[in-house]
Amino acid sequence: MRSSRLDLPPPAHAGLALQRYLKEHDNSHASVRVLLKHIAKSRVLEVYEQAFQRWKAALKDAVFLEATTRTPLAIGLGNSSPLENGLSIHHTYGTPYLPGSALKGLLRRAAERFGLCEAEKAVLLGEGPDPKQKKPGNAAYLVYWDGWLDPASAQPFQQDVITVHHQEYYSTRGQVWPTDFDDPNPVAFLSVKPGVKFHIPITCPAENAQDWPHKAAEMLKWGLEHLGLGGKTNAGYGYFSDFRITVPERPKSLKEHIEEAERQTREVLSQAKDASSLSKIDDYLPKLERLEPAVRRSSLEAIKAHLEAMKRWDTKKSRCQKVQNLLEES
C-alpha cells in the first residue's frame, strides 16, 4: 500500500487489513507504517453495535466489570501477523478485545497478592492434577468471558512504535556489546489507544453464588490497575482506570413475591372501606389473576376476610364468585 493511497476510506475490518493488506516488505518498513496509519482510522461498524447488544443480553446474569484503558494496550503482540507484531482483534467484527485466557492469567497473578487459601484459588482459578495423590485437576467454578469493546469507543486503534536502539546486542544475545554508535531501529505496530472502554463479564453456573464473580471482578480490577494486561507492561502499557462493577439483579424469591402482592392488596383494601369504593377491588382482581396461584392465595384470603367483615360476602355476586374461583384454583 503506497502513501498515495492514504485517501482511501478506512478498512471495514481492521484484522483483515492487518493480515492481508500489506503488499510488500521493504528495509525501511515504510509500507508497514503506511498500512498501520490506514488501519488506525478504522471505526466501529453498526453491525458490531447490534452484536454487542445481543452479547450483553445473552450474559444478563453475569457480573460485568467495565474498564477503560489509561495507557496504550498491546495485547496479542505474539499473534501471527505479516507484520513483526500482532494484536488481538475479533475475527468476525474487527474490533480489539480482551481474551478471557489473558484475563484469567492476570487474575492468577493478582490472586497471589490477595493471600487466598488453596480452596479459594480452586474456586476462582481451578486446580491442576496431583500425581502423588492420583487426583485429577478441576476447572474453575467461574467462567471468564472475552472482554468486548464498548461501541462508544468508535475509533480504538492507534499507530505505535518500538525503537530498538541496540539491534545487534539483542540479536546476538549480548555477544556484541551495545555502543552509542548503533543505529536505532524503529518498529511500527498497532495498539489500542488510551480512553477505550471494555466490558468484561464473569459468570458462575452455580445458583446463589454471585459473591464469587463479584470477588473475581474486584481482584481483576486491582490487577488491571496495578499489574497491567498484555505486553510491554514494564514500559507502561496495558493499565486501566475508570472501573465500574455491575451486579445482575437477583430474582425475587417466592416469599418476596408473596409479600409484594400482600402489600399491594393492603393498599387496595385500605381504600375500599364502604360500598361505593368496592369497585377498587374489582379493578385489582385482574392483576391478582395474572399472578402465580401460590403468590396470590394469601391476598385473595385477605380480600375475602375484608368483604366478610363488611358483610359484603355473597357468592351469588360476581365479585365474590371471582374471588372464590381464584381461591379454588390456588
Mean pLDDT rounded to a whole number for the chain = 86
> What percent of the chain is modeled with pLDDT above 90?
44
Tens digit of each residue's pLDDT (9 = 90 or more) over 18-62: 887 777 776 666 777 888 888 888 889 889 999 999 999 999 989
Averaged over 135-140, what is the pLDDT?
A: 71
> What's the Cα-to-Cα distance from 251 to each of 62, 84, 94, 245, 254, rounded to whole Å?
13, 50, 36, 19, 10
**Separation between Cα atoms, residue 320 and residue 77, nearest integer Å:** 74
Model confidence at 5: pLDDT above 60: no
pLDDT at residue 3 in the model? 43
d(CA 228, CA 221): 10
3-state secondary structure 239-289: CEEEEEEECCCCCCCHHHHHHHHHHHHHHHHHHCCCHHHCHHHHHHHHHHH
- Residues 264-299: pLDDT tens digits? 999 999 998 888 888 899 899 999 999 999 999 999
- What is d(CA 4, CA 38) in angstroms, rounded to the nearest whole number? 11
The sign one gets for the Cα dihedral 264, 269, 271, 275 is: positive
pLDDT at residue 137 in the model: 65
List phi, psi (to 5°) of 242: 55, 60
Nearest C-alpha neighbor of 212 from the set 102, 125, 124: 124
Predicted confidence at residue 84, as pLDDT, reads 72
Instruction: Report pLDDT for 315.
Output: 84
Looking at residue 48, what is its pLDDT? Answer: 94
pLDDT of residue 219: 95
Grid cell listed for 271: 381504600
What is the DSSP secondary-structure string of 14-32? HHHHHHH------TT-HHH
Q: How far apart are CA 36 and CA 162, in angstroms?
A: 14
Give the β-pairing of 240-246 and 197-203: unpaired
Q: How far is CA 114 from the centre of its chain?
A: 23
Residue with cell 374461583: 325
312-329 pLDDT tens trace: 898 888 889 899 988 888
- Asked whether the predicted pLDDT for residue 106 surpasses 70, the reply is yes
Q: Which of 125-129, 135-139, 179-183 has the highest mean pLDDT?
A: 125-129
pLDDT in tens, 61-95: 899 999 999 999 999 888 877 777 789 999 999 99
Distance CA 272, CA 178 (A): 92
pLDDT band at residue 227 under the 50/70/90 scheme: very high
Return the domain boundaries, the chain. Answer: 3-246, 254-329
